[in-house]
């Protein structure tokens, strides 16, 4: 509105000056003709005055009283020529800031921004005046850009039906039709440059995504190797616990039976008694092996899930354990076994002795992950000791993309929280090949 009012006032002043100039020239010529005498007939004086006024206005008016429309048109074509020159510079690093400057100066805007479309997002690639170094503004989409208070007008650059770039300006006054036309012309003239810049930005995002996935793959392999080693250590410990004393006792009973039968005076009764005790030790050893096998590969876990397998574990513990919750659906074996093993290890460590206070265990599947919470209001172990016992389980969780926390929210209360994502592969947020986040 301010610009339009200024142009109206300029045109009015120009018209008044023209009228005054023509009147002055007419008066001067007429008076001069009369003073010259009969050399110039009086009837021709007005015509001569008009000719002199027209000649003077043709020569002097464009110089001293320029037309605002003509001036704006010249500025527009100068801006388009500058935009074309910037687009042919061969360097996107110089072309995009130059385009932003052309738009800002051509529309008399406070700020002009060249946004590149990277998937659904818009990333500020250049601005005039430039923003802080190293800061790249990003908006979710074109609608979010239009909702910004610092955006008064935008012109999208399309590649068919695909948005590639957007020119945006912020003006202290109203955006005129001439401003929009200039922005449209600049966008049309620099469309190829903007498309190439947008494709380059999207390619850079894809390269970064590939690099991030490569790093995640390397880290996953390292975590899986650590988890495999922790499983090996756990299995060795379980087998050592199962076979240590029991196997030695079995060997002693078999040796006693052999001794009772090998002497000069065999004692079949003693040998029979020793073999009976050896049979009992062997049955205990087999039972222990079965328990180890259930821990390594629990059939209930495979058939019914971690909640049912955990119920089977707590049924044999001397301390009462309250379990609640279960996953809403079955999950991949790696995830169910990972959360089961940490739960089983925790309840065995905390409930292996009789106690009146029950242990609370809760399983929940929500927000894209499966969570375990074990709360012990009267824990027999210190948090540091429990963390040592669960170190291998924590490595397994980390290998699967999860984690574990131990908290003491109040004196005498211990809370264990463990979680895993509800899918095995890395969590990659991908939107049209642009935005990537690996968790």
Say what the pLDDT of residue 274 is: 85
* Residue 373 pLDDT exceeds 90: yes
CA distance 65 to 339: 84
Pairing of strands 321-324, 359-366: parallel
Say what the pLDDT of residue 10 is: 55
Most confident of 48-57, 71-80, 99-108: 99-108
Domain 87-189 fold is Beta-Lactamase (3.30.450)
Output phi, psi for 159, to 5 deg: -115, 90
Span 303-439 CATH architecture? 2-Layer Sandwich (3.30)
- C-alpha torsion sign, points 336, 339, 342, 343: negative
- C-alpha torsion sign, points 390, 392, 393, 397: positive
- 197 or 68: whose pLDDT is higher? 197
Lowest mean pLDDT among 130-134, 154-158, 168-172, 295-299: 295-299
Token match 């609640």: residue?
Answer: 324
Structure tokens, 307: 């909640």
Three-state SS for 382-413 is CHHHHHHHCHHHHHHHHHCCCEEEEECCCCCC
Contact 125, 96 (CB under 8 A): yes
CB-CB neighbours of 408 under 10 Å: 12
Say what the pLDDT of residue 293 is: 67
SS3 108: coil
In tens, the pLDDT along 321-331 reads 999 988 778 88
Are 87-189 and 303-439 equal in CATH topology? no
- Residue 307 neighbours by CB under 8 Å, 6+ apart: 323, 325, 326, 327, 363
Contact 40, 48 (CB under 8 A): yes
Burial class (CB in 10 A: 0-12, 13-18, 19+), 309: buried
Contact 104, 187 (CB under 8 A): no
Considering the entire predicted model, what is its pTM?
0.45
What is the average pLDDT across 159-178?
A: 88
For the chain, domain boundaries: 2-66, 87-189, 303-439
Say what the pLDDT of residue 432 is: 41
* Residue 71 pLDDT exceeds 50: no
What is the average pLDDT across 186-192?
A: 79
CB-CB neighbours of 260 under 10 Å: 19
Structure tokens, 273: 């008694």
- C-alpha torsion sign, points 256, 258, 264, 269: positive
Question: What is the H or E stretch that residue 420 is in?
Answer: strand 414-421
CA distance 196 to 282: 76
Mean pLDDT taken over the chain: 76
* Residue 234 pLDDT exceeds 80: no
CA distance 51 to 262: 151
- C-alpha torsion sign, points 380, 386, 389, 392: positive
In tens, the pLDDT along 32-57 reads 555 555 555 555 556 666 666 666 65
Question: What is the H or E stretch that residue 216 is in?
Answer: helix 191-262
Say what the pLDDT of residue 69 is: 43
Distances (CA, A) of 94 to 99, 154, 163, 190, 296: 9, 22, 22, 13, 63
């Amino acid at each position: 509105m301010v610009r339009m009012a200024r142009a109206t006032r300029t045109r009015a002043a120009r018209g008044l000056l023209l009228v005054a100039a023509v009147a002055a020239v007419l008066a001067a010529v007429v008076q001069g003709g009369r003073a010259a005498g009969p050399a110039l007939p009086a009837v021709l004086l007005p015509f001569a005055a008009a000719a002199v006024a027209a000649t003077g206005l043709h020569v002097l008016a464009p110089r001293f009283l320029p037309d605002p429309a003509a001036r704006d048109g010249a500025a527009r074509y100068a801006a388009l020529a500058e935009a074309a020159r910037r687009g042919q510079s061969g360097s996107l690093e110089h072309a995009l800031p130059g385009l932003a400057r052309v738009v800002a100066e051509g529309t008399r805007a406070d700020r002009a921004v060249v946004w590149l479309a990277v998937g659904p997002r818009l990333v500020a690639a250049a601005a005039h005046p430039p923003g802080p170094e190293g800061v790249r503004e990003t908006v979710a989409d074109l609608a979010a850009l239009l909702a910004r208070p610092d955006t008064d007008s935008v012109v999208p650059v399309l590649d068919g039906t695909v948005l590639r770039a957007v020119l945006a300006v912020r003006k202290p006054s109203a955006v005129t039709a001439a401003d929009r036309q200039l922005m449209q012309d600049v966008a049309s003239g620099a469309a190829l440059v903007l498309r190439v810049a947008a494709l380059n930005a999207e390619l850079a995002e894809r390269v970064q995504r590939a690099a991030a996935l490569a790093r995640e793959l390397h880290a996953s392999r390292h975590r899986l190797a650590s988890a495999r080693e922790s499983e090996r250590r756990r299995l060795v410990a379980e087998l050592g616990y199962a076979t240590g004393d029991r196997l030695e006792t079995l060997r002693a009973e078999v040796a006693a039976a052999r001794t009772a039968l090998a002497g000069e005076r065999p004692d079949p009764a003693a040998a029979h008694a020793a073999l009976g005790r050896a049979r009992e030790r062997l049955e205990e050893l087999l039972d222990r092996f079965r328990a180890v096998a259930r821990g390594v590969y629990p059939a209930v876990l495979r058939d019914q899930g971690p909640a049912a397998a955990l119920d089977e574990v707590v049924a044999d513990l001397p301390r009462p354990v309250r379990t609640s919750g279960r996953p809403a659906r079955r999950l991949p074996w790696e995830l169910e076994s990972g959360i089961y093993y940490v739960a089983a290890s925790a309840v065995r460590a905390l409930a292996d002795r009789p106690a009146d206070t029950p242990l609370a265990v809760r399983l929940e599947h929500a927000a894209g992950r499966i969570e375990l919470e074990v709360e012990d209001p009267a824990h027999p172990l210190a948090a540091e000791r429990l963390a040592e016992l669960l170190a291998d389980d924590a490595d397994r969780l980390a290998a699967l993309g999860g984690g574990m926390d131990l908290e003491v929210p109040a004196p005498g209360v211990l809370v264990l929280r463990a979680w895993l994502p509800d899918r095995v592969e890395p969590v990659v947020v991908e939107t049209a090949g642009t935005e990537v986040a690996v968790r």
